[in-house]
Amino acid sequence: MDELELIRQKKLKEMMQKMSGEEKARKVLDSPVKLNSSNFDETLKNNENVVVDFWAEWCMPCKMIAPVIEELAKEYAGKVVFGKLNTDENPTIAARYGISAIPTLIFFKKGKPVDQLVGAMPKSELKRWVQRNL
């Protein structure tokens, strides 16, 4: 099956869900979403609160906060969607938000960046930051 057919089927499924009113009950995300150029804007548009973790495979501080991001995604499921964007694989999006150091976390509200943190931080501090932005 070619990529165009897969996209067509996905869009058809989404339309069917919307029409049947299932979209709201669809799913509560309780783990970080892998973001890339094909789903980044859509994720921001479809969720009121999104925290994006800009990271890279070689970045040790990024690896240190990864389990914390996983935990926060579970704790804030239904309130905040957590996404991870690999800056090496998606340099255009990283450049769009002026990412010059990683890890960088950006809190998006209704698709707009409202706050950001740079560097690895303890869970308590990240939690306080999320709470403050809700």
Catalytic positions, written as ranges? 59, 62
> Residue holding tokens 């783990």?
31
Residue 86 β-bridge partners: 55
